[in-house]
A and B are shown apart, each in its own frame.
Chain A
Amino acid sequence: GAVVSQHPSWVICKSGTSVKIECRSLDFQATTMFWYRQFPKQSLMLMATSNEGSKATYEQGVEKDKFLINHASLTLSTLTVTSAHPEDSSFYICSVQRQGRTNQPQHFGDGTRLSIL
């Protein structure tokens, strides 16, 4: 079964609204979660690294006030796209690094397709 649950899988909303995406680790505690963005026919680009109980680390060029990340527990991280505009339309995907198993691969969520009208 799925190890990581990402919700919603697809969201369509009007320009100017805020959208929250959840990434939940189902089977284990996760110290670190990652948020990626993928445009059509392109690769995954890391947006930020989310650590439980501390501020997220954003990659260069990613607006932290635009993409709010909260990692309040060892099993849940959320990405909020604030005041979304059409250029924010993309595929967002999270991954989870299992606590204490850093030699193991990350587990990916199934992604969220965000469409801003």
Chain B
Amino acid sequence: AQTVTQSQPEMSVQEAETVTLSCTYDTSESDYYLFWYKQPPSRQMILVIRQEAYKQQNATENRFSVNFQKAAKSFSLKISDSQLGDAAMYFCAYRSGSGGSNYKLTFGKGTLLTVNP
């Protein structure tokens, strides 16, 4: 079974600074997807960024980028120019590339990010 580990229960960053959230995973599959989700106090699940395992290039979405190290099974999220609205719980998630119920997401325990003004 796949596992996702987020080793930082809480992180804080100053507004306008950069912060990196860590995520490691364990799998024997070669075809999979990785995601970072943001969950603000409203508890909506908001997709931040995703990475296909077959792509060597790291995904980027505006101020959000990932450092995907496939061999090390590491998938960290970098938030640049942090804003107050970035404060939330961040979940790293894994999804198999094969079908059926394997499309389910496996989540890490989350990292609570605080942004200080």
Contact = CB atoms under 8 A, between A and B. Distances in A.
Interface of A: 32, 34, 38, 42-46, 49, 51, 57, 91, 93, 95, 97, 102-103, 105-106, 108, 110-111, 113
A105 B35 contact: yes
In terms of DSSP, what is the predominant structure of the interface of chain B? Answer: mixed
Contacts of B108: 43
A46 B104 contact: yes
Interface residues of B, number: 21
Nearest to B47: A105
B103 A93 contact: no
B11 interface: no
Given A43-B109, A105-B50, A34 B104 contact: yes
A102 B99 contact: yes
B45 A93 contact: yes
Residue of A49, A93, A102 with highest tally of chain B CB at under 10 A = A102
Contact of A44 (B42, B91, B99): B91
B105 A110 contact: no
Given A42-B109, A105-B35, A91 B104 contact: no
Interface in B99-117: 99-101, 103-110
